[in-house]
Structure 1
Amino acid sequence: MGQGEGEGEEEALLIGDRSRPSHEKSEIPRDSFHLAYIIYFTLGAGFLLPWNAFITAVDYFSYLYPETSVDRVFALVYMLVCLVSLLLIVAYSHKSDSRVRINIGLILFLLSMLVIPVMDQLYIKGRTGLLPGFYVTVASIALSAVADALAQGGIIGSAGELPERYMQAVVAGTAASGVLVSVLRILTKSIYPQDAHGLRRSANLYFSVSIVVMAICIIFYNVASHLPVIKYYKDIKMQAISEEKNVSSSLTGSAWRSNLWNIVGRVKWFGFGILVIYVVTLSIFPGYITEDVHSQVLRDWYPIILITCYNVFDLVGKSLTAVCLLENSKIAIGACFARVLFYPLFLGCLHGPKFFRTEIPVTVLTCLLGLTNGYLTSVLMIAAPKTVRLQHAETAGIVLVLFLVIGLAAGSVVAWFWVL
């Protein structure tokens, strides 16, 4: 998935040139052993892994709380809490340090992941219908959403300050987390019996793996700041900020709001494209795929296979930008809006001709949904931060995540219309 060192250095020069202070350019440090790329890939996987663990353990939560629409409640709570948190972060990001925000976010992720296995051992113990357990689970999802806003906004903002290969690494990492959890789900369903004991062991495995990965992310993130290539670009950013302060007043109050709106204006169409991508995607996945389509042949394997197909093709799409990046942003944004065609196609899988309601059309459409989601997300995430000055790339990244989460929240609401 990585690009060659020569390409990476050429991109680095372009990034530095767009707002590089007027001094002699020093030699760009190499990303030895692609360590920085691996770290950003792992961070991308880390901040989406908790959400993927929750939605992939759907059969466990559905077993515990049979009277609730688990998928849709989880998605709605997660996205709305994350949205509110991001709005606060955008408003006050200039008064806080991104490194502190990211570390707090990763630690909160770790705590939210601990809730499920601890509660299972001390309270649930395989019993069903315990609504207090459901409320605690929803609260842990809300905590995870706050962590997501802190960590994802900061990590994507940080990657936006670097050459495009690092943003591609983060975005591909988000897809890899889905693939990892799906593979774990297939293995556990194959190995463990589908009874109360087997479902408990499966869910505990997902969350245990998430806890381990999150601990690795905390270590990796704090190691990254000491890598020469990362320090090089951080130094450039700090010099750009210093030069900006020399010619303008400190960005506080009305000056900060004016600057923020200027950033939003530059990235808004990229943001609208990302918003539309995730309205379409989340209104179909995972609720429609796990609750509304059925297979007499594959039975309870069917939603698991569909989720895995989506995640694999999402990873393929997000990895393709490492070798073939669409440069025309207008075409990419137009393709985002064209994805609304998935609505009538998936509707046909529910109410259309008999062939459309079989496994092959649903699986093909699910793969296409993942592929287009992954590729277009990666294209827009890479392109948008490059439209602003280097010292504003972090804020641009947070704004993009805000658009993304608005799309996810709206998609979570639209998902309910499949059952109306």
Structure 2
Amino acid sequence: MSPLKKVILFCHRWLGFISGIIVFVVSITGCIFCFQDEIQDAMYSYRHVEPQSRGYVQPSALIDAVKKDFPKASPDFIIYYGIDRPASVLANVGNGGYEYVFLNPYTGKITYHENPQTNFFIIVEYLHLYLLLPPAIGKWVVGIAVIIFVVIMITGIILWWPKRKSDRKRSFTIKWGGRWRRINYDLHNVLGFYATSIALILAITGLAIAFEPVSKGIYNVANLGTDVKNEIEEPKSDSLKLTGIAKQPVVDIAFAYARQHVPAAQMYMIHNDPAVSGAIGVGAYAKSMHYSHADGFEFDKYNGKLLKEYIYDKKSPGLKLNEMNYDIHVGQIIGIPGKIIAFITSLICASLPVTGFIIWLGKRKKTKSKARKIRGAVHHKTHKKQMQGV
């Protein structure tokens, strides 16, 4: 092995020790989360409603229904998931707590509510994102481990890549008939190779979700370094100019406008967060439970005036790509086949620290055994010489 490859092997091995446990946890939780919508749909009846010919009730009616049960609730998000799914309100109920309230979108009746922190898949998501640490700390721990894992994958390819063409067929296949150590070696190298391209995509999209600089970098690269000003500028309320107060709730105005202009959308999400100064926004999504291919509208939260719109066909490549991050990360950008690919890739990523550790352990034992044999041989020769001297 060349000196350069020895250095790469050293980095590959010790970076693996540093990040291995975190990569294992993040990858396993990613596997579980991939099919969380399908699993919860099968388990919980409240995630379905009977479609009706009458239209949805207004968002303000959903808010009123929630406030009857949770008087201090602040409805940060209101979501209409689709004609055969419930509406939901994510309500801030004070003291840093939230409540997910599900309602029949045709009647406004509450059908179920839960604290998100008690939902198994939300716990899995927080474990995946933050290792259940405080988010400000956890995202850095996970983020650094993911960056290290990217380096490990690249160094792994360099170490594994066969020098001769005659070795390539053997290097790209697992020798199932070999001894278990050989099978483990092949599982680490061959599966690692096949998973690398998808794993890199999952890693980068995950980092983009967690870190704004990564998201901004993707935006700039896709837009060839050009900022589209009308996309990055935040809308500002002109209510201080005394242009009047809306005669009906602005959430209703926003929802009606989005439905009128994007009638084919399957899902509508309204952000009504009081922390967002001056604006109420609504996103109209092409497919239910998918967060790309959306048109967006921002309204003055006092008078209901349209401040800004984001029409999908007019969005820059960078903005479109950033909005695809979640769908790409969980594989649903291409439907169930994509989720299966993401699941298998995450499973392979979880296995790599385990198989890699077994390889290291085997080599360590082999080195110790060899050292013992050498010491034994030296001792035998020394003893023989001593006897001859006598």
**TM-score when normalising by structure 2:** 0.24
Structure having the higher Rg: 2
Q: Quick check: which one's helix share is greater? A: 1
